[in-house]
Structure 1
Amino acid sequence: MALPLAPPLPPQLARSRSSLPDDGEVWAYEPKWDGFRCIAFVDGEDVFLQSRSGKPLARYFPELSFPAGRYVVDGEIVIFNAGGGTEFDLLGQRIHPAASRVERLSVETPGTFVAFDLLARDDETLLELPYIERRAALEALVAEPLMLTPMVLTAAEAEPWLHSTEGVIAKERAAAYLPGERKGMAKVKRVRTIDAVIVGWRPGKAEGTLGALILGLYTPDGDLRVVGHSSGFTAKQKRELPDQLAPFESGDRGTGDASRWKSDKELEWIGLRPELVVEVTFDQVSDGRIRHGAKVARWRDDKAPAECTVDQLDS
Structure 2
Amino acid sequence: MLFLCLGCVTLVILSLVSVAIGSRTIPLNEVFHAFSDPADSSVSAAAARLRVPRTILGILAGVALAVAGTLMQGMTRNPLADPSILGLNSGAAFAIVVSMAFFGLNTPKQFIWVALIGSAIAALAVWLLGSMGPSGATILKLTLAGAVVTAMLSSLTSAILLPRIQVISTYRFWQVGGLSGARFALMVPVLPMLIGGLTLALLTIPGINALAMGDELAEGLGSRVKFTRGVAWIAAVLLSAGTTSLAGPIGFVGLVVPHAARLLVGSDYRHILAASAVLGPILLLAADIIGRVLTRPSDVEVGIVTAIIGAPFFIILARGRMLRQV
User: TM-score per shorter chain, which class?
Assistant: under 0.3
Normalised by the size of structure 2, how large is the TM-score? 0.22
Bigger share in helix: 2
Normalised by the size of structure 1, how large is the TM-score? 0.22
Bigger share in strand: 1
Larger Rg: 1
